[in-house]
Structure formats: C-alpha cells, structure tokens
Amino acid sequence: MAFQYQILAQQIAQKIYCGELAVGQRLSSLRQFAELQKVSLNTAKSCYELLEAQGLIFVKEKSGYFVQALPNSPQIAVPDHPDFQSRPREVSNLELQIQIHEAAINNKLIHLGSIQLSPNLVPIEALRRSIQRALKHSKPEDFLYNDRQGHLQLREALSAHWAEDGFYIAKEDIYISNGCMPALSIMIQSLTQVGDSVIVPTPNYNGQLQLLALLKRKIIEIPANTEGFDLDRLEQEMQSPGVKICLLTANFQNPLGFCLSNAEKERIAQLAAKYQCYVIEDDIYAECSFNAKRPLPIKYWDQQGYVVYCSSVSKSLSTSYRVGWFCLPQRLQHLHARLILQNVSVNTPLQLGLADMIYSRAYRQHLSELRPKLMAQVEQYRQFIQQAFHGVSIRLNQPQGSYALWLQFPEQVDSLALYYYAQQYSINIVPGIIFGEDHRYNNCIRLNAGHELSQEVQDAIMLLADWVRGELSTKSVA
C-alpha cells in the first residue's frame, strides 16, 4: 500500500498537470498543509520533498513552496470530433483492421502502437513470488481440470478487491476468462445474434470493432469526444429496433481517455433498465487512474441487472498475463450452463498467482506505485509531442488515466499514409481510420505512452513530425 505522503503528492501532481494549480501559485505552508490534511509535519514534509524531486514544485527561501513551470507547458488544444447521423452498419475494412492489429503487437517494432506497459513497469519479482507461493500452497485438485467458471480463490480475491474500491460483486457472479476480449466475445454472442446491432461510441477501440466484425454484428455509432459522449443520443439509439446491447467504456476510454462522471454512469444504468438494453461494460483501464482512488464502474449503479461487467489485468499488470473476467447479473443467471460450455478454462497457476498478489497486497502496492509513474510519463509524452510538432497545428487529448494518446493533425494529413511510412522505419502507430467509419478520423493517430520516452521513441516521434511537415508543405505548395 502507498504511504500517505505518496498519495497526497499524487493528488497535488494531478492538480498541477490539469492546470488546477497554476504555475507560480504558492502552496500552503508545511504546517498549514499538515493541519488541512490531518497528517503529521513529517508526512507533509515528505510529500513536498517528493513533489520537488519530481520537478513539480520549488522552494523559495523564506517565502514557501510554489508550483514549478512544466517544460513547454502551454495548453495543447484537445481534438475536435465531427457529429454524424447514427445508423446500423457493418464494420468496414476488416482486412485492414487485422493487418494493423497484427503490426501493433509486433514487438520488433518501436512500441508506439499497441497500448501496453513497458516491461520496466511490470512487477516481475512480485509476480514471480506470488506464483511460487501459489504453487507451494496449492492442493492436489488444483492440478486437475478446474472449474470453468474460474478458481474460487481468485473469484473471492477479486470480489474482496473490488469491495475495497467501493463496489461489490459476489464471487458466485464472477467468471474467469482468458483476458477481456474473450469475455466480451462470450457476452456479445450470448446476448445478440448474427445481424443484430451494437451501440458503440466512436472513435472506439479498434479491437472491439474488429471483434464485432468477426462476429458479424452491425454497429450503431454515436459521436464521442474527449469529454465523453452524448447520452441523449445513446437513449435515442437504445430505442432502435434490433438493438439489444451497448458496448461501453466509461473509465479512460481507448483512444480518447475520457472518464464519465458518476451522474453520467448512473444515468446509463438507468437507461439500460428503462429500455431493457444490456450494457457490456469494458472497464479494462479503470485501475490505471492518475488519482489515488480508481473510479467506479457503471456496474455500481446497476439496480436491475442490465450491466455486464468485464475487465482484466492486461493493462494494469501485464499484457501477457491472460486473466480476465465477466460478471453475470442475476437477471442473466439462466445463461450459466451455456457460458460454462463456451468459456475456455484459464491456467490454474496463473489464477492462483493473481489471487496471491491480491491477498498479499502486492497488486495494490503495484497500482499505487504505477499510477504516479504513468501520470508523469504520459505528460512527458504530451510535452515532447508538442515540441516535436512545433509549427504544426496539432490537437492532443489529455487523458485522466491510462496511457493512450489521440493525436489529431490538420485535415490534409492522411494518417494511413503516415502509418505505411512509419512501418518502413520499424515504427508502429495506429491510424485513425480503423477507429470508426466513413474516414472520419483519417487525420488522427493513436500512440502508446506505456513505454519510457527513450531516445529511440523520441527519434521516432521526430521522424513522424518531419513527415507531417513535409506533407503539409507539399500540399500547401500544390
């Protein structure tokens, strides 16, 4: 578990990055801060020293502590997004979707494509210790075919873990899967049929769109932006014939990074019940919040059992740790037998290892250390991108959690052409064309900020910037 001074420093850092605390603003004195937060003077001093070490505040002799100017800190404009008419349609460009997805997970390329954590942010030793302990204390029956619903020990651990975060899901309702995407696939197939329509906000995670295309489901897009999406439009489309489910991410959506308010999440749960339209909630990024406390899911406000909660540890722990889950509300318990047959059993040692990490508090400790690192790293990327593209009218999201960056260029820039150019130099990015239909986002790219901003990554971003400048110059002359 994080120390109190680390939690307080993280909260102040978030206010600095978001502009809530202005550059040059004087902070409370150590004594005032200690009294306000009801902590000791030593805790207050440790908090300020950590912020000073991170380059976020500075001290003036006999004057106090002040907010430090971040390098190149002028605000970057956030991307704008078009409005459009929503209608049922098939996902196009499936072959391109698959091609770009395969490239995005190619570890031989520079890691700006797939949203994944650097190995340096993965608690490898803690994972190893938990798996070793789990094997040491395992029972003979753990080496037989296991319960397809998932090992009881992990389901109990997850239930307790979430209860600590403020929401409760019974262990009986949790089903362990081989990651989040298999969980989504099972629930989409269970609640819809081929040809049915699924509501998705766009731009939307391309992996979800690819999944829906492979399952031969249609999509109904509703416009999204860096603040969220239009709930009135969502309500309107929930009433459309043939619509049975929505596929939503409320916490740090990929690629925009928005986090809906509690009031918006509550309204979504109410709309789902009112129109009997199930919400499949993909909450895979919630534990990558930049705040000390993770945001609540839509599921928290689900009174009638119309929200199916899905997630995994692939974004908060490791992409290779293929353990996810879906949580079945009582309303859908009649699907239990079918889901058990569809669900593929998950490696038992991995399940027990994760359960041990949760019970030993190693996972909680990892999250408390990861969040401030991610927040600082994402901001480093944003500031460097601003420098690299100096003179180019770019727009860039400012996520409140996670590490996906959505970069928008002037309309003349073809991000698919940029994608193919970057491939020649072993640089992997994801072009905006596959995050929605009608080429709406063709002047956008998504970047991964989960790896350190190394010299190699900086050089790659500079190469992208030079190409964009060249394109704009050529088209300006033309």
What is the DSSP annotation of 67-111? EPPPTT-SPPPPPP-------EE----HHHHHHHHHHHT-TTSEE
Domain boundaries, the chain: 4-67, 122-363
Strand partners, 395: 408
pLDDT at 218: 96
pLDDT at residue number 75: 67
The yes-or-no verdict on residue 292 having pLDDT over 80 is no
CB atoms within 10 A of CB 380: 16
74 falls in which pLDDT band (50, 70, 90)?
Answer: low
Angle (CA) 467 436 433, round 5°? 20
Residue of higher predicted confidence among 1 and 50: 50
User: What is the pLDDT, as a whole number, of residue 71?
Assistant: 58
Rg for the chain (alpha carbons), in Å?
Answer: 23
Domain 122-363 falls in which CATH fold?
Aspartate Aminotransferase; domain 2 (3.40.640)
Percent of the chain at pLDDT exceeding 70: 97
Contacts (Cβ under 8 Å, ≥6 apart) of 127: 317, 318, 321, 353, 357
pLDDT of residue 445: 97
The mean of the pLDDT values for the chain is 91
Evaluate whether the domain defined by 4-67 bears CATH number 1.25.50.10.
Answer: no
Residues 45-60 as b/e (b if ≥16 CB within 10 A, e otherwise) read ebbbebbeeeebbeee
Higher pLDDT, 239 or 145: 239
SS3 call for 175 = strand
Average pLDDT (286-312) is: 94
Question: Is residue 399 exposed (0-12), middle (13-18) or buried (19+ Cβ within 10 Å)?
Answer: buried
State the Cα–Cα distance between residues 284 and 279, nearest whole angstrom. Answer: 15
pLDDT of residue 477: 59
pTM value is 0.86
What is the rounded CA–CA span in Å between residue 478 and residue 474? Answer: 6
Determine the pLDDT at residue 124. 94
- How crowded is residue 145: how many other Cβ atoms within 10 Å of its Cβ? 8
Half-sphere exposure of 361 (CA within 13 A, CB side): 5
Per-residue pLDDT band at 198 (split at 50, 70, 90): very high
Structure token digits, residue 329? 């509300």
Band of residue 98 on the pLDDT scale cut at 50, 70, 90: confident
Closest CA to 248 of 262, 269, 232: 269
Q: How confident is the model at residue 415 (pLDDT cuts 50, 70, 90)?
A: very high
Q: Looking at mean pLDDT, say which of 27-31, 41-45, 214-218, 240-244 comes out highest.
A: 214-218
Q: What average pLDDT does range 160-185 have in this prediction?
A: 96
Q: Which residues fall within 8 angstroms of residue 463, CB to CB, at 6 or more apart?
A: 422, 425, 427
CB 268 within 8 A of CB 234: yes
